[in-house]
Each structure stands twice: as C-alpha cells, then as structure tokens.
Amino acid sequence: MAKAEVSHSSSAPDAPEITGDNPRVQEIARLAGVYGGVILTGPPGTSKSFFAHAAAEVIAGGAKERCAFVQFHASYQYEDFMLGLSPEEGGFGFKKGPFLRLVRAATKDRGNTYVLVIDELSRADVGRVFGEALTYVERSKRELPFTIANGEEVRVPSNLIILATMNPFDRGVDEVDAAFERRFAKISMDPDKDVLVEMLDGNGMEEELKAGVIRWFGRINGHARKNPAAAVGHAYFSTATDEASLRDIWEYQLKYLVQRAFRRDENTRADLETAWTHIFPTPEPLSASAGQSSPEPPK
C-alpha cells in the first residue's frame, strides 16, 4: 500500500482529503491485511462509508479500477452479487456479479490488491447473497476451490479485501454477526465529539453557537447508552456553519430522529427539543410540527 496516496470518500466528493497516514485508515488497512475483511459498525452519521471508501482507494494504491462498490438492500440476492441469469440473443446466459468479477480480476493480477466495499451489509440476507463463497472469504480458507451455481470452480484470492459498513441496530445484524464475527475484523464507529469540534471549526462556526451544538450532541448521545436509536453521528453536522444551517438540519433531519427515538418517552423528547432551541443565542420556537409524533406508515 502506498501511504502517500490521497483519497476522497466517493460518497462525499467535496470531503476533506484523507491520506494513508490517517490513523483510522491505517487501522483499517492493517486489519484488512490480517483478516482479509473489515466491518465498520456504528449508527448513522459516524463516517462509516466515508472511511470505507477512502480506505479502499488507499489500500488499492489509488487505483480506482481495482475497487468495486455495492450497496445491499432487502431484495439484494445471490444473482445480483455472485452469478445470475441474464437474457441474451437466443436465450439466457450467466452474468457475473460484482463479487465474481472482482475475484476474477484479482486472480489474474496477483501483484496488486483489489477491494470490494459493501455498504449496508446488514440490510440483506448475507448467507443467501454470498452463497457458497461465505465460507471461503475467511482468510484461512482463501485459495481453496469451491463450486458456484453454474458448476464453475472458484477460489477467493488472498489479494482481495472486503470492507463493509453496517448499522448495529438493523434487523439483520444478528445474522451478519453470526456469519462474519470470526471471519472479519470489526471496528466500532461511534459519535465522536472531537471530530464534531474539528468539523465545526473547519466550517467557521462562531464559538458560542459551536458550544451549544457540542452540549446538545453530548446530551442526546448520553441517552443513546440506554436507547441506541437516539445516537446522533457527527456527520449530521458536516454542513453546519451558522444558525440558518443548524435550523435546516433540525427541521429536515434531526427532529425526525428525535421523534422516532423517543416516541414512547414524551418527556425526554420534549426536553431534547427544548435543549435544541437553547443552542441559539436568541432561541426561536420550534416549528409547530416539532412536537408532534410522525404518523405511522400505512400497513
């Protein structure tokens, strides 16, 4: 890995540069070399995708053509990820998914490292998506042959790294943990006050307003120890520069998180909403909808 390589997270093209000397990137790269895969786990807004994408490019030496990015979701299947049937002239043929394509490319190019980044790992049925390959992504079983659905023999090469992100509170997390906890390393990505301070300083936020944001951030994440759904990642504030931008962040993002996390605890919800208004030197009342619970979706 060339440590001088510089990367941006692909999910944030205007994000600050990250080099291979970044401590978090170094940690991901080191563990990837030991385990062959790393899972970044944490609540939304904790820079999981940012670091996964940035680390992938750094590990691959800046060669974006040696990186592949996929996002799992509830309907994602083996046919999407590994191998599926695709219509072609005269009938159907097998179409390789991103995993198999990268396996083939890495096998032919042993001198270089290839990286597959999977966002939202816990949103799909990982056993069904990986199929036969689930056993063989483990570092100790790399290079062992196995047969895929079309009868073809495959070996997962040792120069293929898998980086993944997941929310530990998703419904499918238990299944993911059972599948990967002894195969891959896991790094917790938590809401980070120091990162928030650095972010707000970089955005030029004035001191009094910044102090109010930091107090509220600590307050709600203190509740997250008993109510994990209350966790608010620092990345929610990446665009926060002044009062107007903070009011937008509340109105269009944070108020819904607070309502959802505390829909059965009206006192705490009201307390956090009031505390938010006190971030501002001249508090303004929250919008009329702030104190109302979001309607239940139709069943």
What does residue 199 show for φ and ψ, rounded to 5 degrees?
-65, -50
Q: 3-state SS of the chain: helix, strand, coil percent to 5? A: 45, 15, 40
Q: Given this model, what pLDDT does residue 219 score?
A: 97
pLDDT in tens, 95-110: 889 999 999 999 999 9
How is residue 126 written in tokens? 């990982």
4 confidence band (pLDDT: 50, 70, 90): very low
CA distances from 52 to 47, 58, 208, 218, 225 (A): 8, 10, 33, 25, 25
Q: How far apart are CA 40 and CA 250, in angstroms?
A: 26
- Helix (H) or strand (E) holding 52, with range, is helix 48-59
Residues above pLDDT 90, as percent of the chain = 72
- Considering only CA atoms, which of 204, 237, 231, 205 is closest in space to residue 218? 231
Q: Is the pLDDT of residue 297 over 60?
A: no
Q: Average model confidence (pLDDT) for the chain?
A: 87
Q: Is the pLDDT of residue 38 over 80?
A: yes
Q: Given this model, what pLDDT does residue 169 score?
A: 80
Q: Given this model, what pLDDT does residue 192 score?
A: 95
Q: Is the pLDDT of residue 145 over 60?
A: yes
Report the relative pairing of strands 83-88 and 91-96 from DSSP bridges. Answer: antiparallel
Q: Is the pLDDT of residue 210 over 90?
A: yes
Which residues sit opposite 41 in a β-bridge? 166, 188
What does residue 189 show for φ and ψ, rounded to 5 degrees?
-115, 105
pLDDT in tens, 241-286: 999 999 999 999 999 999 999 999 999 999 999 999 999 987 665 6
Residues above pLDDT 70, as percent of the chain = 85
Residues contacting residue 243 through CB under 8 Å, at least 6 positions apart: 209, 280
How is residue 179 written in tokens? 């599948």
- Helix (H) or strand (E) holding 41, with range, is strand 37-41
Q: Given this model, what pLDDT does residue 179 score?
A: 84
Q: Given this model, what pLDDT does residue 204 score?
A: 97
Q: Is the pLDDT of residue 292 over 90?
A: no
17 confidence band (pLDDT: 50, 70, 90): low
Q: How far apart are CA 72 and CA 208, in angstroms?
A: 41
Q: How far apart are CA 228 and CA 168, in angstroms?
A: 9
Q: Residues 269, 270, 272, 277: is their CA dihedral positive or negative?
A: positive
pLDDT in tens, 54-113: 999 999 999 999 999 999 999 999 999 998 766 566 656 678 899 999 999 999 999 999
288 confidence band (pLDDT: 50, 70, 90): very low
